[in-house]
Structure 1
Amino acid sequence: MMSDTNARRYSTGAMVFHWVIAVLVIANWQIAERAEALDMPAKIEMFGYHKAVGIMILVLTLGRLLWRFTHPVPPLPATISGWEAALARTVHVVFYVLLIGLPLGGWLANSLSGRDIEMFGLFTIPPLPVRENGDLAGRIFDAHALGGTVFLALIVLHVLGALKHTFVDRSGGIFRMLPFGRA
């Protein structure tokens, strides 16, 4: 029989997906930031890593969604107000949109630039079947960067919310997504 604490905690699979994707997102942000400061050809090489990690994030996110649809999500703590619950659900939906949309947008922009995506020297993902269009690629890259900035702001909001629910409300917050602690 499942304990009350386990009923309030995410499944192990959900936790693994969450933390691996979170680490990859932060690492990929840092890769992009560092790449911007480099000169050619190091800049191209570093952005190659950014693209490959982005594809990994896309694949893991699709796996996470499949997991989420096949495994129950614990209910929100009863202490969360209606507006907090609505905000949490909205942020999670936007996270999924960005976790899928940013890599796809990056792949599309690269395809419009006639570039493929090299996956760490293991294999190559070809461009999407689109005509080259540098102007459109540039606009998509700009939207990609803006989306990344919005994503970072939402990550900060998400972390602050988890910390508030853990240490102020004492409703388990962050321990719902960790295999230890009191959820």
Structure 2
Amino acid sequence: MDTTTSGRRYSVGAMIFHWVIAVAVIVNWRIVEAAEHLGDAEKAPLMANHKALGITILLLTIGRLLWRWTHPVPPLPSNLANWERVLARTVHVIFYVLLIGLPIGGWLAGSFFGMGVDVFGIFSLPALPVGENPDAGKAIIGFHKTGGEVFIYLIALHILGALKHTFFDKNGGVFRMLPFGKVPG
């Protein structure tokens, strides 16, 4: 398969970053949902995994941005309405803001409780030098949770848009981000 964007399809690298990050985000959401109603003893290991996966998502997102800056993306399908173009670009920008902001916000919130992040025993990030302030930590956790909820709704919108473009508009939609399927030229 062509690893460039000479066609209407994203590059192989972009596809790998997209799908690995997508799966990681969904797994991380499910981890925190599973932990929500547990006691502290049962919740702690799940939240440690949530934090570690969040930092992994941050690192993957930085890699994806570097990839994107060095590998141009294919143009949007020509049959999109202007509002669809604006919505697509806006949602993608918000995705990147959340993919970077949520992990950093979670790390900052933990730092206000004096906690760093152990990333699956591979390396540890120390608490940021903000000093302990549990009230600030709780406030940031509230923003973090709201941002995560917004992210889930935007993911649903993104999936619905990809399906609409694939099956109704027949302009390639989801197949632009897969190594198979028909993407009209």
Q: Could you give the per-residue CA deviations for residues 116-161 of structure 1, whole angstroms, max 9, x where no partner exists? A: 1111123221111111110010000000000000000000000000
Tell me the equivalent position of 2:24.
24
User: TM-score w.r.t. structure 2 length?
Assistant: 0.95
Return 5+ residue gaps in structure 1 as ranges.
none
Does 1:57 find its partner at 2:66? Answer: no
Does 1:172 find its partner at 2:172? Answer: yes
Q: What percent of counterpart residues are identical?
A: 62
Return 5+ residue gaps in structure 2 as ranges.
none
Tell me the equivalent position of 1:136.
136
Q: Could you give the per-residue CA deviations for residues 73-117 of structure 1, whole angstroms, max 9, x where no partner exists? A: 000011111000000000000000000000000000000110111
Moved over 3 A (4+): none
Which is worse superposed, 25-34 or 37-46? 37-46
User: TM-score w.r.t. structure 1 length?
Assistant: 0.96
- Please report the RMSD computed on the Cα atoms of aligned residues, expressed in angstroms: 1.1
| In structure 2, C-alpha distance between the alignment counterparts of 1:117 and 1:45, rounded to whole Å | 12
| In structure 2, C-alpha distance between the alignment counterparts of 1:181 and 1:94, rounded to whole Å | 28
| In structure 1, C-alpha distance between the alignment counterparts of 2:46 and 2:125, rounded to whole Å | 17
Tell me the equivalent position of 2:149.
149
- Please give the secondary structure, in 1, of the residue aligned with 2:87: helix
Q: Could you give the per-residue CA deviations for residues 38-88 of structure 1, whole angstroms, max 9, x where no partner exists? A: 112110111000000000000000000000000010000111110000000
| In structure 1, C-alpha distance between the alignment counterparts of 2:57 and 2:123, rounded to whole Å | 17
Report matched runs for 1:1-183 at 5 Å. Answer: 7-183=7-183
| In structure 1, C-alpha distance between the alignment counterparts of 2:98 and 2:154, rounded to whole Å | 10
- Please give the secondary structure, in 1, of the residue aligned with 2:179: coil
Structure-2 change in CA distance of 1:155 and 1:161 (3 Å): same
